[in-house]
Homo-oligomer: A and B are copies of this chain.
Amino acid sequence: MLELIGSQARAAEPLLRVLDTNTKNRVLRQVASDLCENSETILLENARDVEKGKANGMPAGLVDRLLLTQERIRQMAQGLNQLADLDDPVGEVIQMKKRPNGLLIGQKRVPLGVVGIIYEARPNVTADAFGLCFKTGNAVILKGGSDALASNMAIVSCIRATLEREGVTPDAIQLITDTSRETTTAFMKLSQYVDVLIPRGSAGLIRATKENSTIPVIETGTGNCHIFVDESADLDMAVNIIFNAKTQRVGVCNACESLLVHSRVKEALLPRLAERLAEKQVELRGDEAVCALVPGCVPATEEDWGREYLDYILSIKTVSGIDEAIAHINKYNTKHSEAIITENYTNAQRFLEEVDAAAVYVNASTRFTDGFEFGYGAEIGISTQKLHARGPMGLLALTTTKYIIYGNGQVRP
């Protein structure tokens, strides 16, 4: 079955590659409208998934992520309409130069081809992933979580029906309905048909994909994000930024998990900060110096420095200065987002240069690492790997380039 799905995606690829932007946008808007129109059917199928999940003792948080409502379907549709409004990156010639022999060599953005996406029981990802891939001229093969199978089948069937009515190959989107582990692993090895595989979900899913896939993977990752408060920091600004980065939303990869404080400002900063964070009942885990200054602070263990809590917990360490701060961050971070609060020019520049991460900030919250905040109008995920795309990925990450060369008879001497 995977073989069939793969070859159908490959057959769809050349048809999608040449779709003009107007057609793609018209179809995206029609899919959005048809999803809303068919919401009854989709909600009915979703109710079956939810019922089964509850019967199997699915935790409330997961049930909530699985659950669809009229409002959530409307949001899915809105996402597709927003994609229709974005510029189409496909076809842009990003450079073109004339070589001494007269060859005109250009580099043009083209779709990746066939994109595979593996995700968990979040049916909203189904429409979202389709939209991103379709806008960029890619065929997509989806493998969603088994708990959302009925919902995904309803959404995909609705999208395919719209594609057919619009005269576009329905194989622009295909769903793998066999959700067994064996099939998932076999999917990861379908390199003959799939150009890139994107896992969206837990650290476990991402690790399994990385370990098993023979298809190139775009890894989206975890974030053990640090803020370093330098000696010269504006401490009001520091408290504001730390409060925001820690508590504005705790369960996300760009939230701050660990704080480094220059030892010369620990007395001035920590009691004020602890008071502010207490508004949200943030648990503090600190080294000895921190615990001495903050009543109720829990002693941190070595393990805390490497933790992504995704919770109202913050680890705090005092450091002797910028050197120790940079060394600590480069040792324990996950290469996601890191910030320094400082008024010192040289330290700001050194932090930007020497900290190895997808995004490095001076005097701003790490929470801005996000495709929408960066102005991309869409987000596929936040890459913590270094190949192909790093940091928030917009539509560009779903394209590659090809060289186009105009000659007039040139041969190689």
Q: A: which residues have CB within 8 A of B?
A: 13-14, 17-18, 97, 99, 103, 105, 110, 112-113, 191, 195-196, 210-211, 214, 216-218, 234, 237, 240-241, 243-245, 248, 330, 352-354, 356-365, 367-369, 373-375, 385-388, 390-392, 400-412
CB neighbours (8 Å) of A105 from chain B are 374-375
CA distance A400 to B405 in the complex (A): 26
Contact A390 B401, beta carbon cutoff 8 Å:
yes
Contact A354 B409, beta carbon cutoff 8 Å:
no
Contact A407 B216, beta carbon cutoff 8 Å:
no
Which of A357, A365, A367, A402 is the most central at the interface, judged by chain B CB atoms within 10 Å of its CB?
A402
Instruction: From known contacts A14-B354, A195-B386, infer whether A403 and B360 are also in contact, taking CB-CB under 8 Å.
Output: yes
CB neighbours (8 Å) of A409 from chain B are 234, 237, 240-241, 363-364
CA distance A13 to B13 in the complex (A): 40
Shortest beta-carbon distance, A94 to chain B, in Å? Answer: 11
CA distance A357 to B385 in the complex (A): 25
CA distance A358 to B113 in the complex (A): 13
CB neighbours (8 Å) of A241 from chain B are 409, 411
The one of B18, B113, B390 in contact with A386, judged by C-beta atoms closer than 8 angstroms, is B113
Which residue of B has the minimal Cβ distance to A408? B363
Instruction: From known contacts A237-B409, A244-B411, infer whether A113 and B356 are also in contact, taking CB-CB under 8 Å.
Output: yes
Which residue of B has the minimal Cβ distance to A106? B352
CA distance A409 to B373 in the complex (A): 15
CA distance A115 to B234 in the complex (A): 40
Instruction: From known contacts A244-B411, A365-B412, A409-B363, infer whether A211 and B210 are also in contact, taking CB-CB under 8 Å.
Output: no
CA distance A68 to B158 in the complex (A): 65
CA distance A382 to B14 in the complex (A): 23
The one of B210, B330, B368, B405 in contact with A14, judged by C-beta atoms closer than 8 angstroms, is B330
CA distance A54 to B161 in the complex (A): 66
Contact B375 A97, beta carbon cutoff 8 Å:
yes
The one of B13, B18, B403 in contact with A358, judged by C-beta atoms closer than 8 angstroms, is B403
CB neighbours (8 Å) of A243 from chain B are 411
CA distance A390 to B13 in the complex (A): 18
CB neighbours (8 Å) of A17 from chain B are 353-354, 356
Contact B385 A216, beta carbon cutoff 8 Å:
yes
CA distance A233 to B50 in the complex (A): 63
CB neighbours (8 Å) of A367 from chain B are 411-412
Contact B214 A402, beta carbon cutoff 8 Å:
no
Contact A362 B407, beta carbon cutoff 8 Å:
yes
Contact B210 A214, beta carbon cutoff 8 Å:
yes
CB neighbours (8 Å) of A237 from chain B are 409
Shortest beta-carbon distance, A220 to chain B, in Å? Answer: 14
CB neighbours (8 Å) of A365 from chain B are 407, 410-412
Instruction: From known contacts A406-B362, A408-B363, infer whether A387 and B218 are also in contact, taking CB-CB under 8 Å.
Output: yes
CB neighbours (8 Å) of A387 from chain B are 112, 195-196, 216, 218, 387-388, 400
Contact B364 A410, beta carbon cutoff 8 Å:
yes
Which residue of B has the minimal Cβ distance to A110? B356
CA distance A402 to B364 in the complex (A): 16
| 19 additional A-B residue pairs with CB within 8 Å, beyond A248-B412, A359-B405 | A97-B375, A105-B375, A112-B387, A195-B386, A196-B386, A216-B216, A216-B217, A240-B411, A241-B411, A245-B411, A363-B407, A363-B408, A364-B405, A364-B409, A364-B411, A368-B410, A368-B412, A387-B387, A391-B402
The one of B97, B359, B402, B406 in contact with A390, judged by C-beta atoms closer than 8 angstroms, is B402
CA distance A149 to B401 in the complex (A): 38
CB neighbours (8 Å) of A374 from chain B are 99, 105, 403
The one of B360, B373, B401 in contact with A412, judged by C-beta atoms closer than 8 angstroms, is B373
CA distance A401 to B191 in the complex (A): 27
Contact B210 A191, beta carbon cutoff 8 Å:
yes
CA distance A404 to B245 in the complex (A): 17
